[in-house]
Amino acid sequence: MSLQAGSVERRRLIETIRKKGDFLYNTDPMYNTGNFYVARRPYEYDHQKMVQGKINSSASSDENDDSNSDTEINDFSMKDAGVYDSSPTLPVSTAADCIKSTPKKKSKRRHHIGLTRICGNKIPWSDQEKNAALQNFGTYLEKQKLPSSAELSDALPNIPQLERRTVYSIKSWLENELKRRQICLSSINTGNENKIKRSRWSTAMKKSLLQNFAEHIENQTLPSNWECSEFIKLNPTFQNYTRASIKSAILNERRRRQKSV
């Protein structure tokens, strides 16, 4: 089929070629006389490519290598036969793409020059060592800070009481001491020192409680508020206890007996 240059049909076919890419034309100068030759790609080629894609998707990695080589041979034979391959080409990944996709690793911390960690059995700190550490580094704790490793390494040779300790062990002890002081300070500010400490129940108190509420413990029930109030009035040793504490003691006894069964 030949079309005149500048005709509407020729323009329409050229636009179709650009959009779909299913047509081809002869670009040989010997046969290029101004007429546009159009030939459709054979149906067998499309069917072969579709089947080839399904096989490649279901095959393993080793089989994919073989199928890719077969596909290249088929494509080469198609090009030799004058058939134009219009399938889109995927972008090839480069080294720069791999570098961008690789997450950056954080640089590892290094110990101070000339210092090493010594792993061994932990030795409890003596009172002399604690006093020496507080005398030499107590100013840092008062400022809510810790000395640096360089400062500790410079001061350590001048402290004979700490000759068994390393820089890291001294810094760890100072950090724990600082946390202990902060906890004590926070407890004072919140008023925890005014709380009444709970005293343990004596054997006589437990015996009296079990005798008066044995029926409730056996029947898996709890006494009423009136019963707890009367029990507190009749027993002066329970004057500082509340009704809720009496019920909690009975409930704990019930659970203890259930676990022992």
pLDDT of 87 reads: 47
Task: Kindly write down the DSSP assignment for every residue of the chain, as one continuous string.
Answer: ----TT-HHHHHHHHHHHHH--EE----TTT-SSPPP-EEPPHHHHHHHHHHHHHHHHS-HHHHHHHHHHHHHHHHHHHHTT----PPPPPPP-HHHHHHHSPPPPPPP-PPTT-----S---PPPHHHHHHHHHHHHHHHHTT----HHHHHHHGGG-GGGTT--HHHHHHHHHHHHHHHHHHHHHHHHTGGGSPPPPPPPHHHHHHHHHHTHHHHHTT----HHHHHHHHHH-GGGTT--HHHHHHHHHHHHHHHHHH-
pLDDT of 133 reads: 92
Q: Has this prediction a pTM greater than 0.75?
A: no
Q: List per-residue pLDDT tens for the chain, 261 residues long.
A: 567 777 888 788 777 776 665 445 445 555 545 555 555 555 555 666 666 666 666 655 555 555 555 555 455 454 444 444 444 444 555 555 555 555 566 665 565 555 555 555 678 889 999 999 999 998 998 888 899 989 998 999 999 998 888 888 899 899 889 888 888 887 666 655 555 556 678 888 888 888 889 888 888 888 888 888 889 888 888 888 888 888 889 898 888 888 876
Domain ranges for the chain, please list them: 8-80, 127-192, 203-260
